[in-house]
Chain A
């Protein structure tokens, strides 16, 4: 009798234990899955980074020469007589256009170089709330014009962290920019910071278009963009993830089509490179 009770107690406990264990295993599996994805992502980035930095270097030199020639031509036009005023103006316009387009190309090559850059991060003690606020102020004027409100929820006790400030600024600015573009007009961007003993969390959440399930896997791929040609290069998020990985952290996204997006960054507090 007693033995039966004990046995059933043990088996019940065993069952609970097994359930507990299988849940744990499932969780580890999920984590492994995430890590695998991150590994694939970073390998992909490394490969593309190498290739594109090579190309970017090769293209930068001819670009510089074209730019110089355009400038010389503009100067020459300035010093020739004004007999053909109309043609002169047209020539000038077209040379200026060349310069504008060169600028665009150069922007892209710089971006490519920036995420292939081998330079190690330079680690400084950083007040992340202040850093984010600076970037928020930088975008706020434009946000207001589009009736986009920035709502800050900075953790007042957020510890200083060891990180590379200009790299982190670039990430925050890119995420804020994406959020604004996703909202287009009228909406909110929630900027939140929080922490636990080993890391801090930054969340940038918008009430914009959201991301379809199909696209969610691709948004970190270099050159993936849903923006019209000339509007986006699709390098913003791939630069972000390359930077954050370099800083020992990661980025996660929660988003549903039509329901806004939340980009969550985790960064270690004590980062040793």
Chain B
């Protein structure tokens, strides 16, 4: 987990605020934004390792954002967050290169483990 930088994208401001606080408490370097556009802005400036991305957002939705991220920054790993779980969007996400899915509400330990695995994969890709 050392030196991992995380970006969380979700249109629910309250969720972001709480989530960022909880992860900072775990010593994780994390930024939160409320839209896909903002996320792409951040990625231009910051070196992010793993993105946590809400599937359902107004405007540019999660899948659109995922596709943009994966085209521009193929090394970054993306974990999709979904509230209701749908087969269709699940398949779409995996096809467009998502690393994993988490269902809301989630257990923090489970999520941390997924982040760790996603980060490990990014490291492995960088070495290859």
Contacts and interface: CB of A to CB of B under 8 A. Distances in A.
The judgment on whether A and B are partners is: yes
A73 interface: no
A134 B110 CA distance: 11
B100 A134 contact: yes
Interface in A159-216: 165-166, 169-170, 173-174, 176-177, 180
B47 to A, nearest CB: 20
A28 B123 CA distance: 43
Interface in A134-158: 134-135, 137-142
Contact of A124 (B101, B103, B124): B124
Contact of A110 (B84, B85, B95): B95
Interface of A: 106-107, 110-111, 114, 120, 122-124, 134-135, 137-142, 165-166, 169-170, 173-174, 176-177, 180
Interface of A is mostly: helix
18 contacts: A107-B92, A110-B95, A110-B96, A111-B95, A122-B125, A122-B128, A124-B124, A134-B101, A135-B90, A137-B103, A138-B82, A138-B87, A138-B90, A138-B101, A139-B85, A141-B86, A166-B98, A174-B91
Interface bracket on B = 20 to 34
Given A122-B121, A122-B125, A166-B99, A176 B94 contact: no
Given A122-B128, A142-B85, A165-B117, 8 more contacts: A114-B95, A122-B124, A124-B124, A134-B100, A135-B101, A138-B87, A165-B100, A166-B98
Interface string B110-122: 0000000100110
A166 B94 contact: yes
A262 B99 CA distance: 27
Interface of B: 67, 82, 84-87, 90-92, 94-103, 117, 120-121, 124-125, 128
A141 B84 contact: yes
Contacts of A142: 85-87
Contacts of A137: 85, 103
Listed from nearest, the 6 A-B pairs whose CB atoms lie closest are A170-B94, A138-B85, A138-B90, A141-B85, A139-B87, A110-B95
A137 B67 CA distance: 24
Nearest to B114: A134
A138 B103 contact: yes
Contacts of A124: 117, 120-121, 124
Contact of A177 (B84, B91, B103): B91
A5 B27 CA distance: 84
Contact of B100 (A106, A110, A166): A166
A124 B114 CA distance: 12
Contacts of B82: 138
A51 B28 CA distance: 44
Contacts of B103: 137-138
A138 B88 CA distance: 10
B99 A165 contact: yes
A170 B100 contact: no
Nearest to A111: B95
Contacts of B102: 134
